């Protein structure tokens, strides 16, 4: 039997400047490895992420999108991430209606949590990859 080519997913992540993007910088400095398919867009605060951006990314071929910000209570902009949480929860409902709830993920990573950043994105990537190659 012909061996199937493994498909690598494309992941777009929105990372807030003050926590997650800082953590990703630190992860790079510490030479931690994560898949090349994960690409970040820097936003000042996770609350800047318009749900339309997420939908656009999916339309244009992203296999998964994540939004990541500071832990609740730690937002540099006081409570922007609470709005993000609400928005993404609502967006997830919409995604669920189209049977693609798993394509969207929200998580919190502080500036110090380089390891957590790598774990979270790798886990998401592998999840999406398994689904992509299962069909």
Partner 1 sequence: MKTGIFICHCGHNIKHTVDVKRLSEYFKQYPHVTVSEDYPFVCSEPGQDMITESIEKHGLDRVIIASCAPSLHGELFKDLLRKKNVNPFLLRRVSIREHCSWVGDDIEANTEKAKRLILSGLYGAAHYVPLEEKQVEVNKSALVVGGGVSGLSAALFLSKMGMDVFLVESKAELGGHVRELKSVWPSRLPGAKIVEDMEKELKGRPNVEIFTSTRLVNFEGFFGNYEATLETPSGERKVTIGGVVVSIGFAPFDPGIKPELCYGRDPRIVTTLDLERAGDDLALPEKPRVAVLHCIGSRDEQIGRSYCSRICCINALRAAEAVKERYSDSYVESFYMDVRAHPRGGEEFFEDTQEKGVLFTRANIGEIVPSPSGVLLRGEDTLFGETFEREFDLVVLSAGMSPPETSKEMASLFKISLDKDRFFLEAHIKLRPFDTAVKGIFIAGSCSGPKDVEESINHGRASALKLYGFLNLGYAFVDPFISIVDPKRCSGCRMCEQACVAKAIKFDEQKRVVRVEEAACMGCGLCNATCPSSAISLKGYVDSVIDDEISALLEAI
Q: Which residues bind partner 1 (CB under 8 A)?
A: 10, 12, 18-19, 22, 24-25, 27-29, 31-36, 39-45, 47-53, 56-57, 60-62, 73-74, 76-80, 83, 87, 110-113
CB closer to partner 1, 1 vs 117: 117
Backbone angles phi, psi at 86, to 5 degrees: -60, -50
What is the DSSP track for 14-52? EEETTTHHHHHHHHHHTT----TTEEEEEESSGGG--HH
In this structure, are residues 132 and 93 in contact, taking their beta carbons and an 8 Å threshold?
no
CB closer to partner 1, 73 vs 130: 73
Question: How far apart are CB 74 and partner 1 at their closest, in Å?
Answer: 7
Residue 15 C-beta-side C-alpha neighbours within 13 Å: 25
Question: How far apart are CB 117 and partner 1 at their closest, in Å?
Answer: 11
Question: How far apart are CB 53 and partner 1 at their closest, in Å?
Answer: 6
């Amino acid at each position: 039997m012909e061996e199937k080519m493994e498909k690598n997913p494309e992941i777009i992540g929105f990372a807030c400047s003050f926590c997650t993007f800082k953590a990703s910088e630190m992860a790079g400095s510490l030479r931690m490895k994560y898949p090349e398919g994960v690409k970040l867009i820097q936003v000042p605060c996770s609350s800047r992420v318009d749900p339309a951006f997420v939908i656009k990314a999916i339309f244009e071929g992203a296999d998964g999108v994540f939004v990541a910000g500071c832990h609740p209570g730690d937002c540099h902009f006081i409570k922007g991430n609470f709005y993000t949480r609400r928005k993404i929860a609502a967006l997830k409902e919409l995604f669920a209606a189209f049977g693609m709830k798993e394509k969207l993920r929200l998580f919190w990573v502080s500036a110090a949590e380089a390891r957590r950043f790598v774990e979270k994105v790798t886990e998401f990537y592998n999840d999406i990859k398994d689904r992509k190659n299962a069909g």
